[in-house]
Amino acid sequence: MGGRSLQTFMVLFLFMICLSNIQISEARIRHYRWEVKYEYKSPDCYKKLVITINGRSPGPTIIAQEGDTIIVDLENSLLTENVAIHWHGIRQIGTPWFDGTEGVTQCPILPGDTFRYEFVVDRPGTYLYHAHYGMQRESGLYGSIQVSPRDGVAEPFDYDYERSIILNDWYHKSPSEQATGLSSTDFKWIGEPQSLLIQGKGRFNCSKLTTPSLDPDACNQTKPECAPYVLTVIPGKTYRLRIGSLTSLSALTFQIEGHNMTVVEADGHYVEPFVIKNLFIYSGETYSVLVKADQDPSRNYWATTSVVSRNRTTPSGLATFNYYPNHPRRSPPTVPPPGPVWNDVESRLAQSLAIKSHQNYIHKPPQTTDRLIVFLNTQNQVDGRVRWSVNNVSFNLPHTPYLIALKENLTDAFDQTPPPTGYDFVNYDIFKRTNKTNATSSDGIYKLQFNTTVDIVLQNANDMNINNSETHPWHLHGHDFWVLGYGKGKFDIFNDPRNYNLENPIMKNTVAVHPFGWTALRFRADNPGVWAFHCHIEAHFYMGMGVVFAEGIDMLKNLPSSIMGCGHTKGFHRP
């Protein structure tokens, strides 16, 4: 072999070794074995049954790198309840059957069974996982997913350390008890939560128990289990806080006394940085904020979360922002900051409008759309029961998951009539109390042409209470969408699209539609599968506030038999 040939061979050989090393570093498998079961816990000092993962709530944080494969072997030890887990923000490209949405992508996991989820985390960011069966999420079955970039890839901001924090509201009644009240003709609303949790810790005032308990341990504020969450920091260092909300009902604000926060990431996408005092966050959203420990290091500070958008009766959740080496249980010398006024819609809308894509990470949306669907959020009565509806149609989940029904051509598994794509734009007054009896229910779905561009406009209106319109956080499975704009009042189908942000819109998977307002989204129907799009408030989705999209079903390979076994698929499941 000549010198030049040998040199060429060595270059190619070294290149192949480097390529092999890159592939090894990018193809890690992270294998988890989880047992899901009920345990008595007291996260806010009040003892109740909590769904745990390996004895913990929140569950273990999944820490991975872009391109890693996640395998979770989930054993359902709930004894009397089914379960399913949704990997919130993970698009499940090529694995739609592992999205973890009971009734949409899989049959539920039966008591005593073990189910394997296997999927790739295909981009860095902050994500979540949580129960997606009935209203189980609010029993504590949730956790964080933290995905870092590939080796050698830098993010557009610097920090010294990071923490994952989940904010949640907490009820003392079980989801089953709440669901029974919501489903009854004698409607019983779930009410406001009893407390707010920061990373699974809160504080309920036991003296406010309306019914005394014979159990001396039923509510005990001295339990270490419900001591405030402590976030210890080193003076002068910068911290990345990966904050996610998995509230059942509440929109929240989060703040750290005396400190600014810089927003740098939202739902896995880099944000053009902006500074805030309060972070408004809605159920299903995730943010990364940078906080520098630059205040007086001789004391500790409060970190607080409070309810907004509802006339709050729930006390603020408290944590300690602990400057090392102060004792972590040393209380700050001040009163916790109260947070913003609950009904200040303008401030919340201003933050929504401030979130733009980082100037070096702009993914421009298609400049035109192939299809427009307008979703009017209304509250109605269907068959004498209070329901939430979209375009006056209240959504019901079928017994046979849509993904299986469509792939196997089980046309009698759900209503084949597509739901409406709009409402009476001319005559409907969004500011008037809704006509509560003009709705129907359906399990029909929207079929999207593969690889087309779809615009969604979420329109808020008055519900069945006079002068009342609620904030609804909507979450799309299987996709990210561009947030093109927000507006007040009724969406103008002719003029409002002229003001869409088509230059640097943020991409997200969850977004809020504000009271008496609208939010416009755009996404590409480019992920073969069946995907839920729904309000992330547990009671609202349970009461019918959601839809389902199907796209590219003919492109999918054979479905795994592990997702089958319910409805029309009872004979399909093979162990």
Q: Are residues 336 and 368 in the same domain?
A: no
Q: Are residues 417 and 488 in the same domain?
A: yes
pLDDT digits (tens, 9 = 90+) for 177-190: 999 999 999 999 99
> In DSSP terms, which residues pair with 277 in a beta bridge?
none
Q: The whole model's pTM is what?
A: 0.93
At residue 3, does pLDDT exceed 70? no
**Is residue 13 domain-resident?**
no
Cβ burial 382-403 (10 Å sphere, 16+ → b, else e): beebbbbbbbbbbbbbbebbbb
pLDDT at position 283: 98
At residue 575, does pLDDT exceed 70? no
| Tokens matching residue 504 | 């640097």
Q: Are residues 300 and 225 in the same domain?
A: yes
pLDDT at position 27: 63
pLDDT digits (tens, 9 = 90+) for 36-56: 999 999 999 999 999 999 999
**Is residue 3 domain-resident?**
no
Domain boundary among 327, 354, 381: 354
- The C-alpha atoms of residue 128 and residue 145 are separated, in whole angstroms, by 5
- The C-alpha atoms of residue 20 and residue 4 are separated, in whole angstroms, by 24
Find out whether 349 and 517 touch, Cβ atoms under 8 Å.
Answer: yes
**Is residue 19 domain-resident?**
no
From the number of C-beta atoms within 10 Å of its C-beta (0-12, 13-18, 19+), residue 215 rates as exposed
Domain boundary among 354, 385, 417: 354
Find out whether 196 and 305 touch, Cβ atoms under 8 Å.
Answer: yes
Distance of CA 167 to the CA centre of its chain: 11
- The C-alpha atoms of residue 237 and residue 152 are separated, in whole angstroms, by 23
Confidence of residue 438 (pLDDT cuts 50, 70, 90): confident
Q: Are residues 350 and 366 in the same domain?
A: no
pLDDT at position 559: 96
pLDDT at position 8: 42
Give the H/E segment covering residue 395: strand 393-395
pLDDT at position 237: 98
> In DSSP terms, which residues pair with 117 in a beta bridge?
72
Q: What is the mean pLDDT of the chain?
A: 93
pLDDT at position 17: 37
Q: What is the mean pLDDT of residues 99-123?
A: 97
Following CA atoms 25, 559, 61, 279 in sequence, which dihedral angle do they give, to the nearest 10 degrees?
110
**Is residue 160 domain-resident?**
yes
Boundaries of domain holding 404: 362-569
Is the peptide bond preceding residue 325 cis, with omega within 30 degrees of 0?
Answer: yes
pLDDT digits (tens, 9 = 90+) for 333-352: 999 998 899 999 999 999 99
Distance of CA 297 to the CA centre of its chain: 35
| Tokens matching residue 21 | 């090393």
Return the ∠ at Cα 95 (arms to 545 and 569), rounded to 5°: 70
pLDDT digits (tens, 9 = 90+) for 379-388: 999 999 999 9
Q: What is the mean pLDDT of residues 272-289?
A: 98
Q: Are residues 334 and 394 in the same domain?
A: no
pLDDT at position 570: 85
Q: Are residues 118 and 230 in the same domain?
A: yes
Q: Are residues 152 and 243 in the same domain?
A: yes
Q: What is the mean pLDDT of residues 448-452?
A: 98
CATH code for the domain of 538: 2.60.40.420
Sort residue 257 into left (φ over 0), alpha (ψ -120 to 50) or beta: beta
- The C-alpha atoms of residue 262 and residue 256 are separated, in whole angstroms, by 12
Give the H/E segment covering residue 407: helix 402-407
Q: What is the mean pLDDT of residues 464-475?
A: 94
Residue 474 identity: W
**Is residue 21 domain-resident?**
no
Q: What is the rounded end-to-end Cα distance, in angstroms, of the chain?
A: 57
Closest C-alpha to 553, from 520, 527, 521: 527
pLDDT digits (tens, 9 = 90+) for 234-254: 999 999 999 999 999 999 999
**Is residue 18 domain-resident?**
no
Q: Are residues 59 and 192 in the same domain?
A: yes
Distance of CA 93 to the CA centre of its chain: 18
- What backbone phi and psi angles, to 5 degrees, belong to 179? -60, -35
From the number of C-beta atoms within 10 Å of its C-beta (0-12, 13-18, 19+), residue 362 rates as middle
The residue to which tokens 């904010």 are assigned: 167
Confidence of residue 574 (pLDDT cuts 50, 70, 90): low
Q: Is the dihedral of CA 420, 97, 553, 452 positive or negative?
A: positive
The residue to which tokens 């309920």 are assigned: 204
Give the H/E segment covering residue 5: helix 3-26
- The C-alpha atoms of residue 387 and residue 401 are separated, in whole angstroms, by 22
Distance of CA 17 to the CA centre of its chain: 41
Domain boundary among 298, 322, 354: 354
- The C-alpha atoms of residue 305 and residue 252 are separated, in whole angstroms, by 6
Q: Are residues 308 and 406 in the same domain?
A: no
pLDDT at position 217: 87
At residue 22, does pLDDT exceed 90? no
Q: What is the mean pLDDT of residues 206-228?
A: 87
Closest C-alpha to 130, from 76, 73, 86, 99: 86
**Is residue 24 domain-resident?**
no
**Is residue 15 domain-resident?**
no
Q: Are residues 34 and 163 in the same domain?
A: yes
Segments in 188-303 forming alpha helices (H): none
The lowest-confidence range among 11-25, 73-87, 112-126, 425-439 is 11-25
Percent of the chain, pLDDT > 70?
95
pLDDT at position 351: 96
Q: Are residues 408 and 329 in the same domain?
A: no
Question: What Rg, from alpha-carbon coordinates, does the chain have?
Answer: 24
Our count of domains for the chain comes to 2
Q: Are residues 325 and 445 in the same domain?
A: no
- The C-alpha atoms of residue 129 and residue 281 are separated, in whole angstroms, by 17
pLDDT at position 210: 78
pLDDT digits (tens, 9 = 90+) for 482-531: 999 999 999 999 999 999 999 999 999 999 999 999 999 999 999 999 99
Q: What is the mean pLDDT of residues 308-324?
A: 95
DSSP letter assigned to residue 108: P
Find out whether 221 and 144 touch, Cβ atoms under 8 Å.
Answer: no
Find out whether 44 and 195 touch, Cβ atoms under 8 Å.
Answer: yes
Following CA atoms 252, 256, 259, 262 in sequence, which dihedral angle do they give, to the nearest 10 degrees?
-40
Residue 165 identity: I
From the number of C-beta atoms within 10 Å of its C-beta (0-12, 13-18, 19+), residue 366 rates as middle
| Tokens matching residue 212 | 């005394």
At residue 4, does pLDDT exceed 60? no
